Amino acid sequence: MKPLFNLETLPAGLGVESLRIGDLSEAMEYLCRVIEPQIQDAPLAQYPEPTSNNTAVGLADVISLDDARRRVLAAGQPAPVDQPDTHNLMSKNGQSTAHQDPTQPSTEDTSPGATIINLADHMQQPLHDAAGGSQSAQVIDFQQHQIDNARRLASNAATEDMTFAEILQKAQNG
């Protein structure tokens, strides 16, 4: 990526970088504080919080519903009932998973690479609709080879000790 400008050539004393870091930190903390009640409305909030070591690449704050199911089942608690509005009910190939038996081991990949896709599922939705796709809020517009590639990279990451940046870079390069 060609740099838009060189930090080293900025006039000394401008303090732009420090100013931006301060603004960004404040913005991040503010959003996290404000948005928390909206997240707490989700039934998923009843599940145990993810531990800090559930991924190798710093995605400990991200947890999928299937991962949560496994934790609940492991703790011997009743399995949760699916909530249509709180989880992507369609698998990547468009097949519904709404009626999947929660007591059965999930085949969904909850590795770091798959977690990245989970984030994109929801963010990508408006794009799909705008492009003339289905108006259904559950349709995912990912190509299978991209998903496979991300999962393969995530799988390799565990053994190759890849960083998050490396996974992203490799996934982008295909």
Partner 1 sequence: MLGKSRPQNVNQVRAQAYRDLIRREAKIGGTLFGTLPNGHRREFFCLDKHTWVWHEEWSDKSGKHHIRNTRYDVRPTGVVKIQDGRGYQALSPSEARNLRDAVRLYYRKVMNDLYHQTV
Residues lying near partner 1 in the complex (CB under 8 A) are found at: 1, 3-5, 10-11, 14, 16-17, 19-21, 23-28, 30-32, 34-44, 58-59, 61-62, 85-88, 116-120, 122-124, 126-127, 130-132, 142-143, 146, 149-150, 164-165, 168, 171-172, 174
CB nearer to partner 1: give 73 or 120.
120
Hey, what's the torsion of the CAs at 71, 74, 76, 82, to 10 degrees?
Answer: 40
Shortest Å distance, C-beta 115 to partner 1:
9
Closest CA to 154 of 26, 9, 55: 55
CB nearer to partner 1: give 14 or 76.
14
Query: Coil, strand, or helix at residue 85?
Result: coil
Buried b (16+ CB within 10 A) or exposed e, 72-109: bbeeeeeebebeeeebbbbebeeeebeebebeeebebb
CB nearer to partner 1: give 103 or 143.
143
CB nearer to partner 1: give 93 or 143.
143
